[in-house]
Amino acid sequence: MNRPSLWEALRGVVRRDLLLAMRRRSDVAMSVFFLVIVASLFPLGVGPEPAVLRTIGAGVLWVAALLACLLSLGRVFTADYLDGVLEQMVLIAQPLPVLVVGKVFAHWIVSGLPVVLLSPLLGLQFGLDGEALGVLVLSLLLGTPTLSMIGAIGAALVLGVRGSGLLVALLVLPLYVPVLIFGAGAVTSSMAGMGGEANLSLLGACLVLSLFFSPWATAAALRIALE
Amino acid sequence: MLQTVALSCRRGDRRLFSDLNITVQPGTLLAVVGENGSGKTSLLRMLTSLLSPEEGAILWQGQDIREQREQYCAQLTYIGHLNGIKDDLTAMENLSLSASLVGDHCDGPAAHAALEAVGLRRQAHQLPTKVLSQGQKRRVALARLWLSARTLWLLDEPFTSLDTAATGLVTEQLHAHLKRGGIAVVVTHQEVGLPSSIVQRLRMNG
């Protein structure tokens, strides 16, 4: 019978989500503005002391990126759940975890990639030098997909629950801790002249682990939500 | 052939139905009727494999659907109580995206033809579906039936918010599907306007 190839189904999921994001550009712009504003508030609050700013820069940018990702998690599954698109997706004759990867990838393109691209500009506000900026971009490039992957589990678990926005934060933030530590650590250690390779490798390992486990966990949570 | 064997369903503390045995032969429509809350939708969701039965099994061509989930889904078109369309996309985009996602053939002319067949005027094809009326949205969802060459159609209250003309069009399409040897399970409050020789009725009592 008619059955989409795995690639077709995956591409279809990504295409629809990106098309929807294009129609609702304001949603995307909001989380980007949130990141810019949060990252700009710190230099204003802490004061213009370059040494202090350089010390806190990596941590502040990473926390801001993490919160921006958290804000956008509600968009991953909630709308699809409410309008019935999710049940149609579950009934596609392809493994659900693969389709979940498609949705998370689209989410990352829309909410993670802008963060990565903007980060060097924001890093300049904190007086980070060229090498540190490079490590910052690299760490975010490895770290933000992990944040989306882990976040998807939380977003799927809270589907149909009242007050899900706060609940997803409580569920997901503790799991973000290792990513935050390694990500900010990579930048700080490269500024200290020790190179960020060790932390970047750990971030890479986190990404691989989450790529492996998160789609299954998310798919299981989605099936429970639809029962 | 679709069969249920000693199927039972429990939602929370309430037993909705138990020991349900039905067989639907190719070319037949099973009309599930009954009062609100009697488990009609739960039965339909079980048939889609979204809901797993408490006891018993559902057999498709003699084999449990849980053992052949992907092959089963490839033969299935389900239109639920929710339309499954995106408000921000146009009728055309909704139809062609959802068709290509499940692997039905759908190019531009085919999508236009399907939307016209379900009685949606050409002007409405390129509008975001959020500006359409309830009945028009339902039509966009049901247009998938004109693109589906699948054997098993599971429809939850397909005639809700449709006018008589659209109800007639959908009934005709159901008839054509049954003539091709397809099977349909329809949850409905209304009488399905098809000859009684091909309609099997199941009355659910809560």
The mean pLDDT of chain B is 88
Per the CB < 8 Å rule, is A1 touching B150? yes
Chain B residue with the nearest C-alpha to that of A223: B50
3-class state of residue B122 by DSSP: helix
Ranges of H-type helices in chain B: 40-48, 69-73, 91-102, 108-117, 134-142, 144-147, 164-179
Assess whether pLDDT exceeds 70 at residue A1. Answer: no
Assess whether pLDDT exceeds 80 at residue B105. Answer: no
CB nearest A13 (choices: B50, B89, B101): B101
Alpha-carbon distance A59 to A181, whole Å? 9
pTM of the full structure: 0.90
Per the CB < 8 Å rule, is B102 touching A88? yes
Residue of A215 and A75 predicted with greater confidence:
A215
CB nearest A3 (choices: B48, B74, B83): B74
Burial class (CB in 10 A: 0-12, 13-18, 19+), A42: buried
pLDDT at A103: 94
Domain span at A206:
6-226
pLDDT at A75: 85
Q: Which candidate, A83, A221, A96, places its Cα nearest to that of B81?
A: A83
- Measured in angstroms, the CA of A87 and the nearest CA of chain B are apart by 8
B58 contacts B4 by C-beta, under 8 angstroms:
yes
Q: Which candidate, A30, A31, A172, A11, places its Cα nearest to that of A105?
A: A11
B171 contacts B194 by C-beta, under 8 angstroms:
yes
Q: Is A226 on the interface with B (CB under 8 A)?
A: yes
pLDDT at A47: 85
Alpha-carbon distance B191 to B34, whole Å? 12
Inter-axis angle of helices B91-102 and A6-23, nearest 10: 160
Mean pLDDT in residue range B43-70: 89
Query: pLDDT-based confidence at A2, cuts 50/70/90?
Result: low
pLDDT at A157: 94
Cα A136 to Cα A175, A191, B40, B77: the distances in Å are 21, 11, 55, 48
Mean pLDDT in residue range B154-171: 90
pLDDT digits (tens, 9 = 90+) for A41-61: 988 898 888 888 888 989 999
Q: Beta B76-79 vs B152-156: how paired, if at all?
A: parallel
A108 lies in a domain? yes
Query: What is the 3 state secondary structure string of chain A?
Result: CCCCCHHHHHHHHHHHHHHHHHHCHHHHHHHHHHHHHHHHHHHHHHCCCHHHHHHHHHHHHHHHHHHHHHHHCHHHHHHHHHHCHHHHHHCCCCCHHHHHHHHHHHHHHHHHHHHHHHHHHHHHHCCCCHHHHHHHHHHHHHHHHHHHHHHHHHHHHCCCCCCHHHHHHHHHHHHHHHHHHHHHHHHHHHHCCCCCHHHHHHHHHHHHHHHHHHHHHHHHHHHHHHC
A205 lies in a domain? yes
Residues of A with CB below 8 A from B149's CB? 1-2
The single-letter DSSP state of residue B22 is E
Assess whether pLDDT exceeds 80 at residue A4. Answer: no
A1 lies in a domain? no
- Copy the structure tokens of residue B17: 């139905």
Q: Which candidate, B170, B175, B169, B180, places its Cα nearest to that of B198?
A: B175
CB nearest B100 (choices: A12, A89, A91): A12
The single-letter DSSP state of residue B37 is T
- Copy the structure tokens of residue A140: 């975010």
- Measured in angstroms, the CA of B10 and the nearest CA of chain A are apart by 12
Chain A residue with the nearest C-alpha to that of B12: A227
Backbone φ and ψ for A174, nearest 5 degrees, come out as -60, -35
Mean pLDDT in residue range B97-124: 84
A113 lies in a domain? yes
Per the CB < 8 Å rule, is B102 touching A2? yes
CB nearest A2 (choices: B83, B104, B128): B104
Assess whether pLDDT exceeds 60 at residue B99. Answer: yes
- Copy the structure tokens of residue B124: 């409405």
Assess whether pLDDT exceeds 60 at residue A131. Answer: yes
Residues of B with CB below 8 A from A94's CB? 70
Assess whether pLDDT exceeds 70 at residue B206. Answer: no
pLDDT at A7: 87
pLDDT digits (tens, 9 = 90+) for A11-43: 889 999 999 999 988 888 988 899 999 999 988
Backbone φ and ψ for B143, nearest 5 degrees, come out as -60, -25
Backbone φ and ψ for B106, nearest 5 degrees, come out as -155, 105
Mean pLDDT in residue range A178-192: 92
In total, how many domains does chain A have? 1
Cα A205 to Cα A98, A146, A179, B109, B127: the distances in Å are 20, 10, 10, 48, 46
Q: Beta B199-204 vs B76-79: how paired, if at all?
A: unpaired
Mean pLDDT in residue range B154-179: 91
The single-letter DSSP state of residue B191 is P
Buried b (16+ CB within 10 A) or exposed e, A88-119: bbbbbbbbbbbbbbbbbbbbbbbbbebbbebb
Q: Is A219 on the interface with B (CB under 8 A)?
A: no
